[in-house]
A and B are shown apart, each in its own frame.
Chain A
Amino acid sequence: MKPNAASSITKGKMSNESYISLFMIVVLIAFFGIACLFVPNFYLPQNMINILTSFWYIIILGIGVTFLLITGNFDMSVSGVIAMTGVLAAYFCQPLSQSGDAASEMFSGLGMPYWLAVIAAMACAVLIGAVNAFFIARLKVASIIITLGTMSVSRGIGMFIAQGAQRNMNLPDEFKVLGTSYLPNTSIPLSVVIMVVLVIIAVIIEKKTVFGRRTYLIGANIKAAELCGVKVAKHLTYLYLFSAFLAGITGILIASNYIGGSAGRAQGYEFDALVVTLLGGTSINGGFGSVLGTVVGALILSVVTSAATGLLLSPDWQYILKGTVTFLAILAQRFALDKRAK
C-alpha cells in the first residue's frame, strides 16, 4: 500500500501535529540530558526556571509567527516593531520640552501620561501590522519580502525618533513597573506571566475556535478555503494585526525592563522566532503546526543557549552551536515525518 496522508491518519490515533510536538519534547529532553552531562550545575532548579523563563519574548513573538506560518505567510517585521514601540513609548511619555534648543531633544517628548503613551505606541505597532496586511492580504505581494521591508521601515522610524541613540531620560516612574515586577516571593517576572496567559489564549484559539480551524484550512489549500466561504483577506488581516499587537506588547515590556527605548534592540528576534516555530514542527509551507510546538521549540533553543553559556563558550561559538543544533533538530523532524508516512 502506497504511503499517503490518509493512511497516516487512519493508522495512528494521534494527529501529525501532536506526534511532532511529542517528538520535539523527546528531543528537548534528550538535549537537556546531554547538557546535564557536560555543563556543571545544569540541573539546579534555579537553572531550570531560568531556562523556562529567559525566552519569554521569543515565545510571545512565536505565537504570531506560528499562526501566520500555518497560513503559509511570514512575519519578519516583529523585531522592528519591538524597537519602534519601545522608542515611541519612551518618546510619548517624556515631558514636554521647556526650552526650544536641540540639546534637550533626547530628554523631552510629547508629555503624555504613561498609560496613554502605551496605548499610542501600541496603536502605531498595530498600524505597522495593518500596512503588512494591506500589502500581503490585499495586494497579494510575497509576505517574506514585504515584512522584511516593514521591519526596516519600523526600525527606521524608531531610529529616527531616537536619532540613533536612546531615549531613557526623564521617564515617569510608572515606565519601569511592567518590565521589572516579579510575582511575589519568586523570581518570575511579570512578562513571563503575560507570556503564559497569551500562550493559553493562543492554544484555545488554535484548537477550539472556528478561527483556528480556518487558519489551518487557508494554509492547507487557499483555494478550497475561498470556495468554502472563508474571507481569506480579512482572516490574514486579523492575523497580521494580532502579530503586530504581540510584538507591540513585547516592545513595551522590553523597553520597560531596560527603562528606556532604543532603536537597536531586538536585532535578530524575527529569525529566532522563525527558527523556534520551525523547531516546533510548523511546516514552512503551511497547513501544519501548533503553538505548543513552538513553545517546545523555544525551550530547546533555551536549553542550547543556556548550555553554551554554561560551557563558557565565546559568543561566536554560541552562534555556530545554535545553527548546528537547529539544523540537527530540523533534520530529525524531517526524518520522523518521513518515517511516519511509511
Chain B
Amino acid sequence: MNITEKELIKRNIDKKNRTKSVIKKFYIYFVLLIIVILFSAVFTKTELFGRGNFLSIDNIINMLRMSVPIITLSGGFTLLMIAGSIDLSVGSEMSLSAVVFAYLILNGFSFLATFLIIVVLGILMGVINGYLVMKLRITPVIATLVTLNLYKGIARLMVPQGLLSIKSTATQAMPAWINDYGRKDVILGLPWAFIVAVVVIIALVIIQRKTIIGKYAAAIGGNRTAAELSGINAVKWVWIIFIIVGFLAALAGMARASYMSVGDPLSGSGMELNCIIAVLLGGTAFTGGEGSVIKTIIGALIIMCVTTGLMTVIPAYWQTFATGCVLIIAVVLNQLLAQEKVKA
C-alpha cells in the first residue's frame, strides 16, 4: 500500500480537526469544573462541602435559585441565534413582565390569572419583535433596540409616580405568597420556578435537536437564501422563535419578580448581555447555523458561578470591570475554537 505525501498531510489535518471538535464539545464542562474548583479552594477556608464553602449545599441552592431567570431565557436565546437573529430586548421584556406580575398580584389577582396574563404578554412581545424583524425586514439589532426602549418605557410608566418599583405600600400590602413561585422550596430547597426552568431546558433541547424548529433554525441561520429556496418559510419559523423567546422572557420576569417580591422596571437590565455571554461561552457561532442549547446552559451556570463567587470577594464597583473582562474572554475563546484551520 502506497501512502502518498498528500494523503499523509490530509490524515494529519483530519486528526487535528477531530481533536479540535472533541475539545470543542467538552471544553465547556471542563471550564465549569475548573471555575467551581477554583472558587471552592481559593476563596474559602473551611472544608469542602461544609458550611461557608463555595460548594456548600446552601450556596449551591442559592445560586441555582438566583440563576433561574438566565437559564430560562438563554436556551431560547440560543435558538434565536442559531437562526441568525438576535433579540436585544429580552432584558426589557423581562422587566415589563416583572412589573406587570407585581402589579397584578398587588391588586388582588390570583396566581393562575396572573400567570395566564403574563404568558399572553410574553407571546405578544414576541409577536411584535418578530413582526418588526421578519415582516418589516428591519435589522434585528435596530428593531430589538427599539423594542428594548419601548418595553422599558412601558414598564417605567406602570410604576406609580415617586416609587422606584411596585411593592408593598402603606395602602396596599403585597401578599406574602408572591414569594412562593420564586423562593419557597418545593424539592431539595428549590422553588417551582426552578422546576419550570428545568422543564423549559429539556423542552428546548428536544426542540433544538429533534424537531423541525431546530433543524429549520440551523438551516435559516446557515444560509437563509438556500433555506428559502428549499421551501422553508423563514419568516414564519423565525417569527415563531421570537415568540418563544418572548414567552421565556415573560417567565423569567415572573420568576425574578417572585424572588424579589417587587416589580422593578430595571430588574432585567443587562440580561441581554448575560445571555450573549452565555451563548458565546457555549460555543454557538455568532453568525448562526449551529449551536447547542445544553452548552449555553452550562455557559449560563459559569456566569452565575463567577458572579456569585466574585460578589463575596470584590467590591461592587469592580463588578462592571469583571463582567467586561469575562465577556471579552468568552468571545475570544469562542472565536478561537470556532475557527477550523483547513489547509487543503
Contact = CB atoms under 8 A, between A and B. Distances in A.
Contact of B332 (A139, A144, A326, A331): A139
B286 interface: yes
Contacts of B273: 148
13 contacts: A142-B331, A145-B276, A145-B286, A149-B324, A150-B324, A156-B319, A156-B321, A164-B316, A275-B145, A316-B157, A319-B153, A323-B146, A330-B142
Interface of B: 136-139, 141-142, 145-147, 149-150, 152-154, 156-157, 273, 276, 280, 286, 315-325, 327-328, 331-332, 335-336
A258 interface: no
From B286, B328, B336, residue with most partner A Cβ within 10 Å: B328
A339 B178 CA distance: 53
Give the secondary structure class of B's interface.
helix
A271 interface: yes
A88 B335 CA distance: 32
Contact of A152 (B152, B276, B323): B323
Top 4 A-B pairs ranked by shortest CB distance?
A156-B321, A152-B324, A153-B324, A323-B149
Interface string A85-125: 00000000000000000000000000000000000000000
Nearest to A153: B324
B328 A155 contact: no
Contacts, number: 106
Interface residues of A, number: 42
B329 to A, nearest CB: 9
Contacts of A284: 139, 141-142
B138 A271 contact: no
Given A149-B327, A153-B324, A263-B317, A319 B138 contact: no
A319 B156 contact: yes
Contacts of B335: 139-142
B324 A164 contact: no
Contact of A327 (B139, B141, B146): B146
A44 to B, nearest CB: 29
B327 A152 contact: yes
A244 to B, nearest CB: 15
B153 A145 contact: no
Contacts of B146: 323, 326-327
